[in-house]
Amino acid sequence: MYSGSSDGESHDTAQRKIPPASSMLWVRNLRRFIGSGAGLGSEALMELETKRILLDIFREKQHKSAEAGTIPSFYKKKPEEGSISQRVQRLAKYRFLKKQSDLLLNADDLDAMWLCLRENCVIDDATGAEKMNYEDFCHIASVCTEQIGPKCRRFFSPSNFMKFEKDESGRIAILPFYLYVMRTVSLTQARIDMSELDEDSDGFLQPHEMEAYIRGLIPSLAQLREMPSAFVQMYCRIAAHKFFFFCDPHRRGKACIKKVLLSNCLQELMELHQESEEEVTDSEQAENWFSLTSAQRICDMFLALDKDMNGTLSKQELREYADGTLTEIFIERVFDEHVRRGKSGGGNAREMDFESFLDFVLALENKDTPEGLTYLFRCLDLQGRGYLTTADIHSLFRDVHQKWIEGGNYELCIEDVRDEIWDMVKPADSLRITLADLLSCKQGGTVASMVIDVRGFWAHDNRENLLQEDEEPEEE
């Protein structure tokens, strides 16, 4: 007991006698010597200087953050043109995109994968479809990896197999899987190409960058190879505008690359890759905004309306659109809401330029989409209150009614049409119709046509006869 206690006391005494390292003279001198940089080699001095610079930068950021309070930083100044930081950023982006491009499957790789899929699948006796179970899936993955390389391995993951519909034997069809691979490769390549054109690397494309992307696609699009070289610039302008109409709803002048990739616009553009073996009518070609026929139609339409050939459209000139079936009040509201005032000022100086005309045509040809209906609703909202009342519908339909009677049709009761519109929309508030009501009822485009276009109202009024005419050729 006594001896154990004595050992503990002597141990504590020994610990108390050892001075701390910082109090030793030789330690202080060594730290001072190293801190000054004396006696260090050039590499050590460079490393020490780098640490000091980084520490100064860190302290400066901490100081700025403390001054800013709890509000996080939401703006980062872009590097100046020609600066080292900008050059480094571009070089890093180029190397990254090059690496991602090298990981993609090319046309030969896709052909080899399709051959592997067909050689190692089984034929369904009932349907004749080519299918594979999970064991076949893993075997094909090994064969493709040997023939193509490891870059195809990511498509043969268990999660990808589970994405596809399976039959009672747990097999999936090889065609949907192959189409999935092709679409993934196509979208990834499109994202790489768009990112290369994104000059400031912010994930958005400006109009001239989108036009450059489309211009680069033209040689690979089978249905655009015959395009006259003089028309290429105008075509790119028209094609790019649809992307911004649907992917830039706030009209900021830039479209998010991710949004562009997921939009139907890109899919519609890529349809022009297909060689049209059978004859296609002009009306079918015109349905695709990106077809050469459609672009030429838009240009011819604008030139035909521009009577004074000044490059813009007045209200009087726009009234001739669609054979003059649009109402006067709608044309007035289009200029009020979507046409910028001229530089010289005054009401007479306001005319519609080509970009505004493209918005106008896109809205009328896509009335059932949220973007098209949003454009039109601003024109229908006469008081700018965010909703339509029975008085608004009455005012809007009055011009349609006048054109209807002038066309020799039967007499209409405006109140009956108004009640029919309310029954079609079924608004949440029985006294007003909002944009959300038009979108949710799935008939917003029809309602808009009824109150702005006498031809649209005629189509609604004769919808049963028109439907019967469409069904007759099918029965034959």
Reported as a single tens digit per residue, the pLDDT across 226-248 is 899 999 999 999 999 999 999 99
A 10 A CB-CB count for 56 gives: 10
Reported as a single tens digit per residue, the pLDDT across 308-357 is 999 999 999 999 999 999 999 999 999 999 998 765 444 456 899 999 99
What are the DSSP calls for 331-364, one per residue?
HHHHHHHH-PPPTT-SGGG--B-HHHHHHHHHHH
Length of the chain measured in residues: 476
Burial zone of 185 (CB within 10 Å; 0-12 exposed, 13-18 middle, 19+ buried): middle
**Residue type at 397?**
F
* pLDDT of 475 above 50: no
At residue 378, the pLDDT reads 95
At residue 470, the pLDDT reads 60
CB 174 within 8 A of CB 117: yes
Q: Residues 122-131: contacts with CB within 8 Å, 24+ apart?
A: 122/171, 124/167, 124/171, 129/173, 129/175, 130/173, 130/174, 130/175, 131/167, 131/171, 131/172, 131/173, 131/174
The owner of tokens 């209150």 is 385
Q: Two tokens at 24? A: 């030793």
SS3 for 6? helix
Measured distance CA(241)–CA(356) in Å, rounded:
10
Reported as a single tens digit per residue, the pLDDT across 247-300 is 998 889 999 999 999 999 999 999 888 765 454 555 556 689 999 999 999 999
* pLDDT of 41 above 90: no
For residue 132, report the phi and psi dihedrals to the nearest 5 degrees. Answer: -150, 145
Reported as a single tens digit per residue, the pLDDT across 77-106 is 777 888 888 888 889 999 999 999 999 999
At residue 302, the pLDDT reads 96
Find the largest Cα–Cα distance for the chain: 125
The Cβ-side half-sphere exposure at 307, using a 13 Å CA radius, reads 8
The owner of tokens 């200087």 is 49
* pLDDT of 64 above 90: no
Reported as a single tens digit per residue, the pLDDT across 384-405 is 999 999 999 999 999 999 999 9
* pLDDT of 42 above 50: yes
At residue 228, the pLDDT reads 92
Measured distance CA(277)–CA(227) in Å, rounded:
18
Q: Quick one: which of 287, 378, 298 has its CA closest to 330?
A: 378
At residue 249, the pLDDT reads 85
How much of the chain exceeds pLDDT 70, in percent? Answer: 83
Q: Give 38's strand partners.
A: none
Reported as a single tens digit per residue, the pLDDT across 419-467 is 999 999 999 999 999 999 999 999 999 999 999 999 999 999 888 776 6
* pLDDT of 199 above 70: yes
At residue 19, the pLDDT reads 54
